[in-house]
Structure 1
Amino acid sequence: MASASRLSTSVLLTCAAIGVATGALSAGAGAISGPVSAAVPILYGLVLGVHVLPGVIAQELLRRPWVALITHLIAALVASAVVPLWIGRYIGTALLIGALQEGIAALGRYRRWEAWRFFVSAIVVGVVIAVPIWFAADVSRFPVWGQIVYIALFIVGPVAWTAVGLAIGAALRRAGVARSAQR
């Protein structure tokens, strides 16, 4: 476990900044998810994958317990301010993905921060989300190749967005954001 269980104000403010930025992105993804689902439903998994960003960036940058869940919840509140009707969806998604990311980090006792751990988390998130979506979107109506691609993109989406999040987190770390947040 990390040595301190309490989070400093600077860590919380860093989570808030990441949450605001990724919340705006989540609201944008929410805005295009309807048209994408209607016009090209097979690509919906790529759009939905953006929701892994808050936790990935926060964990890559801060490497502390609870930062993924806190950042996800802040992002959900920001996205909900843009689309209040979807507050339940945003909060539910934040709790689900944030809890999965925290759980996988906790399995390594918050000591394993290699990229592979984030990608395992992304695959788990993709699978967990793909299962209920299979039924909600009636994926069985697609031809077999469409079913395979649809589900594969629910895994590829979070993995691709995780790579983006790792790059952003690493860039913020190189810029010194993590040092100021650890004080």
Structure 2
Amino acid sequence: MRNISTRLLIACAAIGVAGGVLFTAHAWVGGLTVNTIPFLYGVTMGLYFLPGVLAQALFHRGGVALLTAALSGLVASPFQPIGFMAFLIGVVIGLVQELPFLIARYRVWKPWLFMVSGLICGLITMGAAFGILGSHNFNLLGTILVVVTFFISPPIFTVLGLWLAKALDGAGVARGLRADERLANNNRQGN
């Protein structure tokens, strides 16, 4: 992350703190639903991907998903049953979200690339569902519901994050913070 400003750090921190609050609420409510309505828990798992998507869609900068997701995990750590693991999970989520954009060398910020990221996260989350829930305890329909809900949740929250980013951008929250905006402004000033 080059040319990081205090304003960008504060914006990522604000998103990260909000994400941490949501992570904490989800951990405690999720603890109840995972044992009673596991597919509902699966639908809400995408919440963990929301802060990173929001930061990437707002700022179009490399590293902001990692920073924001890590901050969300750090904020949630003292209040979560899993403690510091929440921070480590946030770091992993941020890294996975950065990967498609890193491969595109942080030059492509199209919705389809966000969806690729969401689908990759969905596959990982779906795989984690078996470790979290022990899918062998379900019948065929239950297993299908768990797999599908854990898979679709990150793409659903990716779309929600894109929508929120568009609304916040319309309100001027990201003005002057986007890397592509700064490059365009520098080019105009240089001509």
Is the TM value for this pair above 0.5? yes
Q: How does 1:7-156 map to 2 (within 5 A)?
A: 7-83=4-80, 85-156=81-152
Q: Percent identity?
A: 35
Q: Return the structure number with greater relative CO, CA threshold 8 A, min gap 6.
A: 1
Structure 2 distance, partners of 1:118, 1:155, is 15
Task: Check whether the contact 1:14–1:181 (CA below 8 A) recurs between aligned residues.
Answer: no
Deviation for aligned residue 1:180 = 4.2
What code does the residue aligned with 1:128 have? I
Structure 2 distance, partners of 1:172, 1:39, is 36
Task: Check whether the contact 2:97–2:117 (CA below 8 A) recurs between aligned residues.
Answer: yes
Give TM-score, length-normalised by structure 2.
Answer: 0.87
User: Counterpart of 2:159?
Assistant: 163
Structure 2 distance, partners of 1:104, 1:88, is 27
Task: Check whether the contact 2:56–2:64 (CA below 8 A) recurs between aligned residues.
Answer: yes
Structure 2 portions without partners, runs of 5+: 183-191
Structure 1 distance, partners of 2:37, 2:114, is 28
Deviation for aligned residue 1:81 = 3.6
From 3, 7, 13, the counterpart of 1:6:
3
Distance of aligned partners of 1:18 and 1:136 in 2 relative to their CA distance in 1, 3 Å threshold:
closer
